[in-house]
Structures are given as C-alpha cells and as structure tokens.
A and B are shown apart, each in its own frame.
Chain A
Amino acid sequence: MQGRVWVITKSFLVLVCVLALWQSIVILNHIPPYLVPGPGLVLTALRDRFPALVQSLGITTLEAWGGLAAAIIVGVMVAMLFAQWRTLRQLMLPYTVLLQTVPIVAVAPLLINWIGAGLFAVATVTFIICLPPIIANTTQGLISIDENLIHLFLMHKATRTQVLFKLRFPNALPNLFTGIRISAGISVVGAITGELFAGSPRVGEGGLGYAIIYANNQMETSYMFALVLAATFLGFGFFFLVMFMEWLVLRHWHESKRAAEAE
C-alpha cells in the first residue's frame, strides 16, 4: 500500500517537473503566448471559458458515444449473421476490412453533402470508423468455439438459436470487448475529426474539434491547449469506462483476462 502511494507521488512529481520546465522554457525564450502559452495561461483559459468548454465536451461525448453505441449494436448483429452463414461471411468479411481502410477524412465532406453538418453527421463518421473492429473481433469470437462444446450441444439436440445465444455469443464476449476497446479509443478521434469538417450547423456552437478550429482562427492558443486537454481527458474517460464494463462482465470467467492484468 505504501509502495503504491509512492508510485503515485512519483508520477505526480514528474507532472510537476514537466509543467515547471514548460513554464520556464516559455519565460526564458520569451515565446509569445499566441504560439505557446505557459501552463498558467492555459489554466486561466480553462477557468474563464469553462462553461463553453463543458458544452463542447458534452457535444463531442454525445457524438462519440452515439457513434460507438450504434457501431456496437450494428456490429454485433452483422457478426451474428456472419457466424450463422459461412457463405455470407466469406463474401462480405473482406469488405468490412476494406471499410476500415477508407480514409474517413476524405469521406467526411461527402457525408455533409448527404446528411448536412452537425451532430448526426459527426456521429455517423464515428460510427463508420468504429464498426470494422467490432465486426471483425466479434465474428472471430462467434466462430472460434471449442469443437467439443459444439459436439456437446449437438448431442443434446440444441437448435441453431440455442447454439448462437447459449454458446457462440457468450464465447464471443471477450472478443467483443477487445473490439469495443479499440473502437472506444478511435471514437473520440473520429468525433473530433468529424467536427473539423462537419462540426456545427451554426457558428459558435460545436464540439471540441469545432472549437479547436474556431479558437485557432481567433488565435486563442491557450484555449486551444485547454480544449486539447479536454479531448485527452475524454479519451481517457472512455478507455476507463470500457475497461470497467469489461471487468464487470468478464470478471468471473475469462482466464486470459486475468493473465492480461498480471502483465
């Protein structure tokens, strides 16, 4: 326990050192604040513009969560279809991989043309990039079943539906969470990228990505730093939330999960 406190203290000291170094470099080199503001100015911007920042953070969170949630729902359904029909899987799985390699930055303007700028467009961008990892991982889990377990189910005359929901789906849960973890990480990036193009239907209101562009145009560099900080915080939050859900669902059973914790 004492060791743990010491580790946290050390990490905190590193942060303090980095901030001090940052501030001193800015002061000693007379760097103008519109290029690189010191940590003090960033904190001030954070405090002064806090309501606007929280609003932007909320919008981005909504877009990222919305896109991710839709990707999970659609991805699991697609994976289930793939698991049930081998031919369909062989025909379609390569295209889901292709979907992953589509440069989303290039597609975003198209999406705006189709569905208009705003929250929904950004969530769609997030959905598109979150979908492939969910499909690929879940499909893998649904089809990688211990042969003996399949035999056991068949010997007891299990129906296809029983095999799917009592065997394949629970078996795929660890894979599903691997997919969600990957997608959660990129969902925030996706939402912010989406906002750079389709951030807001109205001037002055939008998520973090939109606000970053806006602040950049206004040369409000310290607020930009604060926004980047918020985006990082958001990504972190997503990651921990997914980890917690994974722990909640898999804590009883998955052995490799425990091995991962030990690493």
Chain B
Amino acid sequence: MSVPEIALNRVTKQYKTGTLALEGVSLSVQRGEFVTLLGPSGCGKSTLLRMISGLSTPTGGEIRVNGMTPGNARELMSFIFQDPTLMPWRTVAGNVGLSLELEGAARPLRAERVSDVLGLVGLQHFANRYPRELSGGMKMRASIARALVSRPRILLMDEPFAALDEMTRDRMNEQLLRLFEEQKWTVLFVTHSVAEAVFLSTRIVILSAHPGRIAHDVALNLGRPREPHLRESAAFEQAVIQISRLLRGVQR
C-alpha cells in the first residue's frame, strides 16, 4: 500500500489545564478519500484538524502528512474555517489571493490563479466587491476559493457550512462534491450534520467524547458522482439511519 495521505498513530492531546482532549487516535486516510469526523461536542474533532494542519502539536503519538511532519507539509494543505473570516478591508480578489501574496508570487500569476478559483466557485463577477456586500453563502464560497488558490492536495474543513441556512448548505454541499470529483483532493471534514456527512463522504469516522477516541469507522458505498437526488434514495436514508444510531450510541 502506498504512503497514506494522512496518518495518525496513537495521537493524544492533553491541554495545559489537564483536560485530555484526544486519546490514542489512530487513523489512516488514503489519497482521494473524503473522510468526515462526526461526534458529540467536546470529542476533539476540531483539535484533531488543527493538529493535522500543524497549528497545534499532539502531546503524544505521531502525525504524518504524505510521510512528512505537518509543519513540513503545509504547502499540501488548506484549512477552511467555520466562519468565512474574510478580511473586511480587502476585496474578494484581495482576500482570495492572500496566500500567494504572502509567498511573494508575481502579480500576473496571482491574478490568473485568483480568477481561476473564483470561476471555480462561481464568484468571477464579484472579484472587486468587498465582503460586506456578499451574502453568507457567497462569503463561504470566497473563503473556499481562498483555500483553493494555493492548489492544495488536502482540504481540512472545520464545520464550514454550519452557519448557513439549510438550502444554501445543500447547494454548497453539491458544489463541493462537484469540485471534489473534478479536483481529486483528499478531504477531512468536520460536521454535526449526519445528512451532510452521508451525502459527502466516502468514509465516516465517529468519535466518542471525554476523552476523544475513535468509536466507529464506517465506509459508505453510495457511488460517485453523487447527484442531489441521492438524498431521496433508500440507500441514503439507510446510511443516515445507520450513522445516527452509531452516533446515539457514543453519546450515551
């Protein structure tokens, strides 16, 4: 088997306050997988994501991203937060081009890449608008475009659509899937919504809380490409029921 894209080996995280957030988490994600982390609040999903991104270090165990330490693999990854966290003083294009600008990329290259990713998320006509002129869904799309501009192989998404209304969220899910199927990323996704998890993922990892441990690891065989009407199929419903049961099990 090839080197896994993300490999966690008995990862433990204890906060300075003494709280054990994660204990002995081992997980291997292959290239091209869409893995969703589900679990009650306090199970350390976000902590896990932040450690993989290199923003925080585990207190025990080891994390490898494409065989490297998270710090050395930063170029491969992009992080998408729950809030769009756009800088209000920059235009959409200015926000999206941030990472290239920080790396000192030449202006023409920046402009080209920015317009490419804006096209990808359907914001090509909003490049010169300011964040406050955008709707919630458009801000999130700008935030995703910002993550994509550095051409990552791995996307770490921390409840990215949690703040959106359900219709917008469904539409965003569909757009994300379309992009995922085109771009062949590896995605690690955190959510509280079972339906969202089932619709998007190839695999769902359910964590239990206090301390966070992996309780279940479920592969989903719903096929690809996935269309919106998958949500109305019996197989989808079946999977939602199965995952919901497992989730209820760990919440007791």
Contact = CB atoms under 8 A, between A and B. Distances in A.
A253 B85 contact: no
B88 interface: yes
Interface residues of B, number: 25
Given A156-B150, A157-B74, A162-B102, A151 B88 contact: no
B53 A155 contact: yes
A151 B131 CA distance: 19
B89 A152 contact: no
A254 B83 contact: no
Given A155-B74, A155-B79, A156-B150, A255 B88 contact: yes
Interface in A145-183: 146, 148-149, 151-158, 162, 166-167, 170-171, 173
Interface string B90-103: 10000000110111
B85 A156 contact: no
B50 to A, nearest CB: 8
Interface string B61-89: 00000000000001001110101010111
Contacts of A156: 74, 98-99, 102-103, 150
B156 to A, nearest CB: 10
Contacts of A258: 132
B102 A153 contact: yes
B88 A253 contact: yes
Interface residues of A, number: 22
Contacts of A254: 88-89
A234 to B, nearest CB: 31
Contact of B89 (A146, A151, A154, A170): A170
Contact of A151 (B79, B90, B99, B150): B79
Contacts of B55: 151, 154-155
A149 B85 contact: yes
B54 interface: yes
Interface in A105-130: none
Interface in B1-58: 50, 53-55
Contacts of B236: none
Contacts of A173: 89
Given A170-B89, A254-B88, A255-B88, A157 B131 contact: no
A162 B104 CA distance: 11
A253 B102 contact: no
Given A146-B85, A252-B130, A253-B131, A155 B54 contact: yes
Interface string A234-262: 00000000000000000011110010000
Contacts of A158: 102
Greatest chain B CB density within 10 A among A155, A162, A170 is at A155
B85 A152 contact: yes
A253 B130 CA distance: 7
B86 to A, nearest CB: 9
A250 to B, nearest CB: 8
Interface of A: 146, 148-149, 151-158, 162, 166-167, 170-171, 173, 252-255, 258
6 contacts: A151-B55, A152-B99, A156-B102, A156-B103, A166-B102, A252-B88
The 6 closest A-B pairs by CB, nearest first: A253-B88, A148-B85, A156-B99, A170-B89, A156-B102, A148-B81
